[in-house]
Amino acid sequence: MAERQRKTPVEAVRGEYELVLAKKPDRAFPSSPPSRADVELSQEHKLLGNQAFSARAYEDALVGFSRAILFNPYDHLLYSNRSACWANLGRYIEALDDAMICTTLAPEFAKGWGRKGLAEYHLGRWSDEKKSYETGLAADPSSQSLHQALETASQRSQRPYHMMLFAPRFLNLERLFERLEDPTQLTEEYVSANEALLNLQLEYLTQTLHMDWCAPISSWVAPAMRHATEGGMCDCAAILIN
C-alpha cells in the first residue's frame, strides 16, 4: 500500500475547519460572542497548541490554534500564536494576515505589532515593518525586543531608496513585464533558471509599493530620486495592470 501523503499546513488547517464547521456551522460567521462552553473548548485547544509550539512541532501547533480560533474567534492571543507558527513554517503572508487580525482586535497588545513587523520584514515590506515596531512601542515603551527590532529596521530602511535610484537599469524589468503579458513564458524551467533575478525584481517592486514617499522628495538628491520614484511607480503600475 502506498504511503499516505502528508498534508501541508494549509491543508491541515482547512481540514480542521471543515471538521468543526460540519458539527457547528454557526462558527463560520459568528454573530455573537462565544458561549462559556466554546471558550473552554478554545482554551483546551490553545493549551495543546502551546505544548506543540514549545516542542517546535509547529504544524501541530498550527492545527491546535486554528481549532481554538474556531471556538473563540475574538481572542487576539490565538492569532498572535498562530502568526508565530506560520512564521516558523516560512509562511509569512499567512503570518502577516494573523498578525493584522491580532492588532485589529487588540491594538494595545505590543507583541502583536512585533509579529506583524517580523512578517513584514520577511516579505520585504521594510517601511511597514518599521511603522509596526513604532506602534508597538507606543503601546509598550519598555519592550526591549521591539526597541532592538526598530533599531535594526531603522538601519535597514535606507536601502530601498538606493534600490530605486540604481536598480531598474540592472534588473531588466521590461523583460519581466513582457513575460507577464504572456504567462505561457513563465515556465517552471524559466523560474528555476532565473530564480535569483526574479527575487531581486520582486523585492524592488515590493519596496517601491511600500516606501515612505516623503524621504525621496526631501532628499539631497531630490531631482534624481523623484525621477526614480516616477519610474518605480510606473513599474508597479505595469505589474498591477498585468
Same domain for 185 and 112? no
Answer yes or no: are the C-beta atoms of 98 and 82 closer than 8 Å.
Answer: yes
CATH value at residue 140 = 1.25.40.10
Same domain, 30 and 87: yes
96 assigned to some structural domain: yes
Domain boundary among the residues 117, 137, 156 is at 156
- So what's the pLDDT on residue 31? 62
Give the model's pLDDT for residue 115: 97
The per-residue pLDDT for 74 is 92
| CB environment 28-44: b (16+ within 10 A), e (fewer) | eeeeeebeeebbebbee
- How many domains in the chain? 2
**116-125: b or e for each residue (b if 16 or more CB lie within 10 Å)?**
bbbbbbbbbb
162: pLDDT strictly greater than 50? yes
Looking at the structure, tell me whether residues 149 and 171 fall in a common domain.
no
Q: How many beta carbons lie within 10 A of that of residue 194, not counting itself?
A: 17
Of the pLDDT bands very low, low, confident and very high (cuts 50, 70, 90), residue 222 is very low
* Any domain includes 140: yes
Average pLDDT score, the chain = 78
- Give the per-residue pLDDT at 18: 67
Whether residues 167 and 65 share a domain: the answer is no
C-alpha cell at 187: 515556465
- What tens digit of pLDDT does each residue of 17-65 get? 666 666 666 555 556 788 899 999 999 999 999 999 999 999 999 999 9
Does position 78 have pLDDT exceeding 60, yes or no? Answer: yes
Least confident among 29-33, 87-91, 139-143, 216-220: 216-220
Give a yes or no: residue 170 inside a domain: yes
Q: Higher pLDDT residue, 161 or 38?
A: 38
Looking at residue 169, its pLDDT comes to: 61
* Range list of H helices, 109-181: 110-122, 126-139, 144-156, 159-166, 168-171, 173-181
Over residues 105-123, the mean pLDDT reads 94
Residue 117 shares a structural domain with residue 221:
no
Q: Give the integer Cα–Cα distance in Å for 166 and 227.
A: 11
Looking at the fold, whether 237 and 119 belong to one and the same domain comes out as no
More confident residue, 14 or 63: 63
Highest-pLDDT range among 13-17, 147-151, 155-159, 176-180 = 147-151
Same domain, 47 and 101: yes
Q: Is residue 189 part of a domain?
A: yes
Q: Which residue has the higher pLDDT, 238 or 173?
A: 173
Of 128, 127, 133, nearest to 145 (Cα)? 133
Q: Helix count (H) and strand count (E) of the chain?
A: 15, 0
Q: Domain check: are 115 and 223 in the same one? A: no
The per-residue pLDDT for range 163-195, each reduced to its tens digit, is: 555 565 667 777 777 777 777 777 888 888 888
DSSP state of 221: T
pLDDT of residue 29: 55
Distance of CA 145 to the CA centre of its chain: 19
Full-model pTM: 0.63
- Domain assignment of residue 199, given as a range: 159-241
Distance CA 129, CA 113 (A): 9
Q: Which of 78-92, 131-145, 192-206 is least confident?
A: 192-206
